Structure 1
Amino acid sequence: MPLQDLPETTALVVIDMQQGFTDPSWGVPVDLDGCRTRVRALVDAFESARRPVVVVRHDSDKPSSPLRRDAAGNAFFDEIAAVDPAVLITKTVNSAFLGTPDLDGWLRERGIDTIVVCGIQTNMCVETTARMGGNLGYRVVVPLDATTTFPLTGAGESADAETLIRITAVNLAGGGFAQVAATADVVAASMREEKP
């Protein structure tokens, strides 16, 4: 289903585009370079349309994490480091809605009712933020090709990254949390003027 025009009351939420995700301990991501390129395309489109860009950074409190505050991996990829965000949210958990400052309050104060969520990891912080956004009553759009993730093992099972991305799409769309879209469609919709 084609993405409808995004209202002017839409913000882009860029999740955890941090250098620590190149650490080999994560495993091999799905098309990290493509994710970075598409996230930057979304940022450029939103900046051109004068729509807010929210940047989220994971400040891990785990001593071994490459995303911990004092680690080089806490820094953003170059594509995001150059962005002057409308607000920077820092968090220690999966959801950007549980970060500082309060994302929900920041969005509501500005009359924002739609969020486009992209970044890393698809099935972790992106999906959790999208689900919580849906629960809070926002219209949520996830350009799935502007996300990436890594293989995962747990409860005696394992899944490759491609499978996890597909499952996230099913969870979000099938569960009614978010509309799953392609970056190109979101870029096109963000550049169209809202119809009267």
Structure 2
Amino acid sequence: MRLKIFEQNQHLKDLTPFELMAKDITILNGIVKGEPIYEKGRKTSTGYFLDKEQTNLAIQKTFSDELDENGFLKGLNIVIKWFDIYGNPVLVKPVYVSLSLSESAEMIIKRRKRIIDYLKESGVRLGVKQHIDSLFSHYTNYQQSGVTKNLLNSFIENGSDELKQAVANENNQEIADILNHVLPNGTTIKDSLLDQIA
């Protein structure tokens, strides 16, 4: 077995696969933790590389949800893969992390907050920050039947679909024009926003 991590961690070569998989990968020599990959606020994978450019993947963690019979998050399935010098996953370790009710709720709220943060940062990177700022200001102080509601906060805290409904049925012409603005990738701001919060 010729693992990539052996390049800078010769002392690990004499360990058994079980001993190797018990090691804390974050403290191995030469390991660079990559940027986590998210899908709609949910972390799907994290790579550990042997270079700062993050091209030489040595270890990868993938994450998937474990739901109960009612569709509520009850745990996380984590798969840790160690790659050999040919890029093949030769050691695979599955880990299950059980979540309490409060841990599950906290994780889901963090995911929804991450969606909003992603939309804000995407707006900056795509050069439409002023549009995103206007949208978020509008939906933070949303007027409905004489009542002001913070639809962003309601989405983050309790998963309310009021934000989705407001975006889908927007009748304020200025806000509708912003929502219909076409992004460099060919989709509209509205479609991008709805895709994330759906």
TM-score of the alignment, normalized to the shorter chain, above 0.5: no
Q: Looking at CA atoms only, which structure, 1 or 2, has the larger radius of gyration? A: 2
Q: Which has the higher strand share?
A: 2
- The higher relative CO (CA closer than 8 Å, separation ≥ 6) is in 1
